[in-house]
Structure 1
């Protein structure tokens, strides 16, 4: 069972310039969303990052909000948060797959995104994963975004020169 395994976690990055994260959360399950946000805020604070939180109606709107912010605002990175609990229809599969795919595509276009949208079978699984004192998936998503911001900044300072690659 994966819950009993130990995992390696990267140390949080250190920044010499301010970092601004946008946390986009779908609060459909408000208590779970609040725990995810609390975990994300705490992790961001540990790096000295500034956080702005916005709410959207559901998990499918999270990537759209991030895309709008990427085009129209000034954020270094993004944290996608929400929870999708399996129901009786295939809507669960659509929401899980489409929100994840859209977030991945934004990342491939250069946005620094940590995906903390939980996709679970039941509420109990969501509660454990969202709990900042438990699996802290909100904090993990913020850490992922912060690591990508650090990587982006590292490579942004390197110049490639002109001409052919050596």
Structure 2
């Protein structure tokens, strides 16, 4: 039963340098995404991260929008907000799988993304997940992006050697 489950939530990361996030919203179910955006804004404010919000027509347009921003802008990370409710056709599966897969590919290429594209059976499930007083998936997506940004900043100066590398201070005769 979901009400008896416990979850470990990592503490919010802290930053020395400012963080700039792009929130990409597909407002097809605007009441739901407005709730998620409220949670996202609250989490970003609590972590002192700046947000820019853009809207795209649907969940399938979120990964391309993130890819364009990653290639042409200077955002530290991205937050995907949308909602897909199961309907009578297999379109639900296509939208869920392709939007998730697109975001995962971008993440594997190094983009720091928090994914809050809800995939639910009905509006009631969506509202519980979106509500900042409920599961706050918008805020959780911001937290996920911030954790990935913290990791990328932590490892930004680390260098991996290619092939043999002489130990520090060794003679290079």
C-alpha deviations, 1:44-73, integer Å up to 9, x for none?
A: 111110000000000000001000000001
1:134 equivalent to 2:134? Answer yes
User: Which residue pairs with 1:36 in the alignment?
Assistant: 36
1:65 equivalent to 2:59? Answer no
Q: What are the ranges of 5 or more consecutive residues in structure 2 without an aligned counterpart?
A: 168-173
Q: What are the ranges of 5 or more consecutive residues in structure 1 without an aligned counterpart?
A: none
Give the 5 Å matches for 1:149-164.
149-160=149-160, 163-164=163-164
CA–CA distance in structure 2, aligned partners of residues 61 and 102 of structure 1: 10
What is the root-mean-square deviation in Å for CA atoms of aligned residues?
Answer: 1.4
1:126: how far off? 0.1
User: Which residue pairs with 1:52 in the alignment?
Assistant: 52
Between the two proteins, the alignment pairs up a number of residues equal to 166
- Larger radius of gyration, structure 1 or 2? 2
1:157: how far off? 2.3
User: Which residue pairs with 2:24 in the alignment?
Assistant: 24
TM-score, normalised relative to structure 1: 0.96
Q: Secondary structure at the match of 2:51?
A: strand
User: Which residue pairs with 1:95 in the alignment?
Assistant: 95
1:162: how far off? 6.2
CA–CA distance in structure 2, aligned partners of residues 105 and 34 of structure 1: 26
CA–CA distance in structure 1, aligned partners of residues 137 and 27 of structure 2: 15
User: Which residue pairs with 1:104 in the alignment?
Assistant: 104
1:6: how far off? 1.0
